[in-house]
Amino acid sequence: MTGHAAAAITPTSGPGGRLLIVNADDLGQTPGINRGIEEAHRQGLVSSATLLANGAAFAEGVELAARCPQLGVGLHLNLVEGAPVAPLEQVRSLVDAGGQMWGKRGLARRWLTGAIDPGHVRAEFAAQLGRLRGAGIEPTHFDSHQHLHVLPGLRDLLFGEAAHLGLSACRWPRESLGGNLWPPRPGGWLRWLVVRLASGRGELAARRCGLRLPARFGGLCQTGSLSARWIAAWLRGLHGQSAELMVHPGYVDAALRESGTRLLQQREAELRAVCDPTLPALLRELGLRLGHFGDLPEPPRSRA
């Protein structure tokens, strides 16, 4: 897989067909991830990506978005890693003495024990969204780094703030249990269980705030071991009008190695998976069309 001359794959075009969103996380984290996402869009199935506003390669990610107008770009809200975008005095409870975020476990623990000021969360959400908009990107949706927006209480705060800030769609990582989750990578079932228990009735909460959601979600259990074979099996098991597949394509570079992420060579394997030449024909066979969160239909009005 070399070069970027090929056009983005569109197995089914036009308004017909069931919508499939293949979203690449971590745009803007490193140059290697950016390169992999662009390749996965131009030569593979990736139709959407979420951008880290505080990522070291954010500027490159913005340039990529400009080069790829068919790629939907959302906000990968980050409350767990690196430095905040908002001024420190506005987000003190989100950071340690060195001005760095607390990490996944630290944020979860502090939120659940009441040590995080909700106003600081709102300020950082607005700052990260503002950085994308200031760079000329109107996000199609938001999700969160490490899925922290499923936490009880934090979920409702973020849904309400998203609606207030003019966002209209989000990811809800509630993966359906079934045979198409085979074979789980080590830790995959545990990750699925934690997110499943935390997510509760989040779909209803999102819709009450006017947020659009795909009907199905996949890729959580398989993060780090995604293969073209698994993607094909998951696609064949889809039901409903829309689905999101979460992927993490990228190339390993020095910046990625130094980042502390557990996903290194696995990103290159996922890049190969989403660029597998057999998948576009399968999408056509199944009547699936690639798109992004902005293509989701308006949600039904809640009677609550």
pLDDT the model gives residue 198: 56
Tell whether the model's pLDDT for residue 20 goes beyond 60. yes
Give the pLDDT mean for 21-44: 96
Q: Residue 180's pLDDT is what?
A: 52
The residue that leads in pLDDT, 239 or 152, is: 152
Q: Which pLDDT score, from 0 to 100, does residue 300 have?
A: 54
Q: Is the pLDDT of residue 3 over 70?
A: no
* Max CA pair span of the chain: 55
Torsional sign, CA 196, 286, 288, 41: positive
Q: What is the pLDDT of residue 185?
A: 55
The hierarchical CATH code for the domain 18-295 is 3.20.20.370
Range with the largest mean pLDDT of 26-30, 152-156, 170-174 = 26-30
Assess whether pLDDT exceeds 90 at residue 288: yes
Helix (H, G, I), strand (E, B) or coil at 104: helix
> What average pLDDT score do residues 115-144 get?
98
Name residue 103's amino acid: G
Q: What is the pLDDT of residue 256?
A: 62
**pLDDT score for 192:** 57
CA atoms in the 13 A half-sphere facing the CB of 267: 25
Give the pLDDT mean for 232-244.
Answer: 88
CB burial of 14-52 (b: ≥16 within 10 Å; e: otherwise) equals eeebbbbbbbbbbbbbbbbbbbbbbbbbbbbbbbbbbbb
Model pLDDT, residue 202: 74
Task: Locate the domains of the chain by residue range.
Answer: 18-295
Average pLDDT over every residue of 238-267: 79
Share of the chain above pLDDT 90, in %: 66
- State the chain's mean pLDDT as an integer: 86
Q: Which of 32, 80, 16 is nearest to 270 (CA)?
A: 32
Per-residue pLDDT tens digits for 45-98: 999 999 999 999 999 999 999 999 999 999 999 999 999 999 999 999 999 999
Q: Is the pLDDT of residue 200 over 70?
A: no
Q: What CA–CA distance (Å, rounded) separates 125 from 122?
A: 5
pLDDT above 60 (res 124): yes
What's the pTM value of the predicted model, to 2 decimals?
Answer: 0.88
pLDDT for residue 155 is more than 80? yes
Percentage above 70 pLDDT, the chain? 81
